[in-house]
Amino acid sequence: MEQALQKKRLVKRLTWKKTLIIIVVALVIILTAAAGTAYFLLQKSKPQVNGALALNGLTANVDVYRDDHGVPHIEAKSMKDLFIAQGFVTAQDRMFQMDLSRRQASGMLSEVIGEKALSRDKFFRTLGLRRAAEASYHKYSPEMKQYLKWYADGVNAYMKQAKKTNTLPIEFMLVGYEPKKWTPVDSLVIGKYMAFDLGGHWEGQAFRYYLMETFSKEKALDLFPGYPADAPAILEDLKESGLDFEKSFAEAVVPNFHNGSNNWVVSGSKTQSGKPLLANDPHLSLGTPSIWYQTHLKAPEYEVSGVIFAGIPGIIVGHNDTIAWGVTNVGPDVQELYIEKRNPKDPYEFQYLADWEKADVVDEVIKVKDKADVNYEVVITRHGPIISEFAHHDKPGTALSLKWTALQPSKELEAVIMMNRSKNWQQFEKSLESFHTPAQNFVFASTDGTIAYKANGLIPVRKQKYTSLPVPGWTDQYEWEGYIPWNELPTTVNPKNGYIATANNKVTTDSYPYHISDTFAQPYRQQRIVEVLEKTDTLTVKDMQTLQFDQKNKQAEEILPILIEQVTNEPLNEIETQVIDVLKKWNKLDSKNSAAPLIFHIWMDRFSSELFKDEISEEMMDMFDGREQVIDELIRKAYAGQPGPWIKEHGGLEKVTEKSFRSMISTLTEEYGEYLAEWKWGDFHTLTFEHPLASIKPLNLLFNPETQKMGGSRVTVGVAGWNRETGDITHGGAWRMVIDMADPTKAYHVVGPGQSGHVLSPWYKDQSKDWATGKYHVTALDDNGGKGREHLLLTPGSEN
């Protein structure tokens, strides 16, 4: 009996093992087949970059050369064919990115992503970027409307072809939808989104209003960027609003405050070539694919090379054979939060002077994947949309509306095409009259030796200059009276010092008659740029490239000695002594292999945390506009013997510094051990270039480039901003350019991680390591058919 039972058990075990083997083999076969199918689909969807391809709408052949880094050089015999080809070629490389961009700006992500994107969609429907883009379209000239249409025709030609041949980017299959027809308004709404991404300080106004309602006046003002003597009337007008700020703005989309840039131009008197040098690296989000798309466009009487946001025709920053230009964010106060008093008898009426005014109501329908449509109501006062209620449906007696220059019709793309065609400073400056938003610091260089600068854009002139707080909307005392006259915007031509540089710093002196902003970037990048440019009068392209990647930490030069002084007044243990010794020997370079920058940056973060963690929620801290500058100033004042209430209440500068010092050491020893030789900035500060679908594991393994360790920081000229919790680098100059006007037919570029959005393209991530190590490639206006380049001939299709 026992033997029979054992035999039965043995048979069952063997049967189970056999079944398990069959299951494993089947899974392997299925997974192999799935992987093979996925690879086949990926290969099939790769853009055609050589041979010939018929394209409906073209009137003549168009040559598209892709150079060794995938940069398309498009040569056409007419502007029509040029923009059709630009739309087609850009869609080949970036169609999924383009579609996500227009959907995000338009508040249409839920339609393809689902309910988790609903609050984001509500926010952008409330702002109304698409409404502003639609209004802008009607202001454009017939010529520009035609360019927009031709570009859209090119994009749609690609989509039609890709759908017919089942070669759309694989991301569309993974998400489960197909892109809809491209329109001129789609291009314009992407431009409006860039105005949003470069901000205007509304979140800072909301944060400071929250401070006023939550803390004492003295404690609130301690975190303001400045508070002039003529401003208190605003505070007297502001009573308790009844608004729940954390609830109202918990899901608000707040642009990265560090979005900005470096640019500079040097006259021939300070260069080895005797001609101007120009450098630019706009700082925006880093990801795969890059936010920038590099292109060279050529048609009769039109040739330009540089970068554009995928989905927009022309070139927004770059050069032609005579001039070059670069941009940084001015960061002006172009947004105003108004506190609106609601009629208790009619929630759609708001007080203005002695009357109740009826607001406009826009009924939005938001499509949600696998769910019913969501009907959403946007209320728009005389000042702008009510933005304090997008996340909930409470209607207290007051609300916050947003007035913003970018919500007005504007014609930036008119300016872009005029800039592209300009041959001298006079023509270029004239083109800027149509560039309203975002306000940008333009630097300019020409082969005739001219260097110039203009802070350009619509910047409001207010009855009351002070703008760090929301203002009463029921009175006319805080209305905009117009904009700074265009010919009175800050402008410099051929300065005596031989250079012009901006790094989101304050660009005017106290004598300038108009208000620009109360909040600017920390001064350290600008200080370092000026320090280097003043050292020699024989500057070269290589010097400019080195400076763009420079990792000198001027903040540490100023702030670190103060911090060290506070913690060395008392006996230190062994590891604390080692930490101080490392910091004292530091050369103030944020090098990836050094422990000192890791110690310093985590220490500064813990200093901030010690002050605010128990009193200000993370949701509100995300709206703390200018946080780093405020912390620097709190330290400066306290060290000068004038500590504010936040420092005082935490025991004074010495106490806060000691607590944050020990918190930093606890964090780092827990993560990296007690052996300081193992502490490296680059182990924390890492670069991946995240793809939008990488959050869905294991798609990160497919789409994300290899993670790299990197130096630099938020305060170095070579900017590499990071997530405070993870250390992931998420922000920086995704595109860098340097040009010597001694030979304007070529420029030095790098686009991280690469040109293509197709994961199997050789240009998907080929510039990732170059970007992380400060290397460049040359893009030339001539020799488009050079050795090793791909050539695609676009020919007129049968349907013209």
pLDDT tens-digit map of 343-363 = 999 999 999 999 999 999 999
Q: What is the mean predicted confidence (pLDDT) over 448-460?
A: 97
Q: What is the pLDDT of residue 392?
A: 64
Q: What is the pLDDT of residue 519?
A: 86
In angstroms, the CA 256 to CA 251 distance is 15
Q: Where are the beta strands (DSSP E) in 226-345?
A: 260-266, 277-285, 292-299, 302-309, 317-319, 323-329, 335-343
Q: What is the pLDDT of residue 464?
A: 82
Place of tokens 């006046």: 217
Q: What is the pLDDT of residue 252?
A: 81
Q: Apex CA 294: angle with CA 770 and CA 741, to 5°?
A: 85
Query: pLDDT tens digits for 621-634?
Result: 989 988 999 999 99
Q: What is the pLDDT of residue 618?
A: 87
Q: To the nearest 5 percent, what fractions of the chain are helix, strand and coil? A: 40, 20, 40
Q: How large is the greatest C-alpha to C-alpha distance in the chain, in angstroms? A: 107
Answer with the residue of higher pLDDT: 42 or 378: 378
| Residue 703: Cβ within 10 Å count | 22
In angstroms, the CA 328 to CA 263 distance is 6
Q: Apex CA 274: angle with CA 269 and CA 276, to 5°?
A: 75
Answer with the residue of higher pLDDT: 464 or 539: 539
767 class by beta-carbon count within 10 Å (0-12 exposed, 13-18 middle, 19+ buried):
buried
Quick check: 744 and 47 in contact, CB under 8 A?
Answer: no
Give bridge partners of residue 380 from the DSSP assignment. 360, 385
In angstroms, the CA 500 to CA 524 distance is 16
Mean of the per-residue pLDDT values for the chain?
91
Q: What is the mean predicted confidence (pLDDT) over 290-318?
A: 97
- When pLDDT is cut at 50, 70 and 90, the band that residue 237 belongs to is low
In angstroms, the CA 160 to CA 181 distance is 9
Quick check: 729 and 722 in contact, CB under 8 A?
Answer: yes
Structure tokens at 724: 């405070």
Q: What is the pLDDT of residue 225?
A: 83
Q: What is the mean predicted confidence (pLDDT) over 541-568?
A: 97
pLDDT exceeds 60 at position 786: no
Q: What is the pLDDT of residue 12?
A: 56
Q: What is the pLDDT of residue 14?
A: 56
- For residue 471, what is the DSSP state? E
Burial 329-348 (b: 16+ CB within 10 A, else e): bbbbbbbbbbbbbbeeeeeb
In angstroms, the CA 616 to CA 619 distance is 8
H or E, element range at 519: none
- When pLDDT is cut at 50, 70 and 90, the band that residue 800 belongs to is very low
571 class by beta-carbon count within 10 Å (0-12 exposed, 13-18 middle, 19+ buried):
exposed
Quick check: 313 and 83 in contact, CB under 8 A?
Answer: yes
pLDDT exceeds 50 at position 203: yes
Place of tokens 């320090």: 531
pLDDT exceeds 60 at position 23: no
Give bridge partners of residue 733 from the DSSP assignment. 283
Q: Where are the beta strands (DSSP E) in 367-456?
A: 374-380, 398-404, 440-446, 451-456
pLDDT exceeds 90 at position 19: no
pTM metric for this prediction: 0.93
- For domain 51-197+787-796, the CATH class is mainly alpha
Quick check: 757 and 93 in contact, CB under 8 A?
Answer: yes
Q: What is the pLDDT of residue 89?
A: 98
511 class by beta-carbon count within 10 Å (0-12 exposed, 13-18 middle, 19+ buried):
exposed
In angstroms, the CA 411 to CA 400 distance is 28
Query: pLDDT tens digits for 675-726?
Result: 999 999 999 999 999 999 998 989 999 999 999 999 999 999 999 999 999 9
Q: Smallest Cα–Cα separation from 341: which of 474, 479, 478?
A: 474
pLDDT exceeds 70 at position 26: no
Answer with the residue of higher pLDDT: 202 or 465: 202
Q: What is the mean predicted confidence (pLDDT) over 454-469?
A: 89
Q: What is the pLDDT of residue 232?
A: 41
Going from the C-alpha of 720 to that of each of 282, 513, 732, 771, 773, the distances in angstroms are: 12, 35, 5, 11, 12
Bond before 698 cis per omega within 30 degrees: yes
Query: pLDDT tens digits for 375-430?
Result: 999 999 999 999 988 766 666 788 999 999 999 999 999 999 999 999 999 999 99
Name which of 31-35, 91-95, 568-572, 779-783 the model is least confident about. 31-35
Q: Apex CA 539: angle with CA 534 and CA 545, to 5°?
A: 100
| Residue 252: Cβ within 10 Å count | 20
Quick check: 754 and 289 in contact, CB under 8 A?
Answer: yes
- When pLDDT is cut at 50, 70 and 90, the band that residue 31 belongs to is very low
87 class by beta-carbon count within 10 Å (0-12 exposed, 13-18 middle, 19+ buried):
buried
pLDDT exceeds 50 at position 785: no
Q: Smallest Cα–Cα separation from 625: which of 516, 730, 732, 520?
A: 520
Phi-psi category of residue 525: left, alpha or beta, with phi > 0 → left and psi -120 to 50 → alpha: alpha
Domain ranges of the chain: 1-45, 51-197+787-796, 554-588+595-679
Query: pLDDT tens digits for 101-151?
Result: 999 999 999 999 999 999 999 999 999 999 999 999 999 999 999 999 999
Most trustworthy range by pLDDT among 4-8, 10-14, 466-470, 596-600: 596-600
Name which of 18-32, 368-382, 385-399, 566-580 the model is least confident about. 18-32
- When pLDDT is cut at 50, 70 and 90, the band that residue 550 belongs to is very high
Helix (H, G, I), strand (E, B) or coil at 312: coil
Contacts of 10 (CB under 8 A, 6+ apart): none
Name which of 213-227, 600-614, 651-665 the model is least confident about. 213-227
Q: What is the pLDDT of residue 239?
A: 54
In angstroms, the CA 420 to CA 319 distance is 7
Going from the C-alpha of 53 to that of each of 56, 439, 793, the distances in angstroms are: 10, 41, 6
pLDDT exceeds 90 at position 35: no
Query: pLDDT tens digits for 723-742?
Result: 999 999 999 999 999 999 99
Pairing between β-strand 440-446 and β-strand 728-733 as defined by DSSP bridges: unpaired
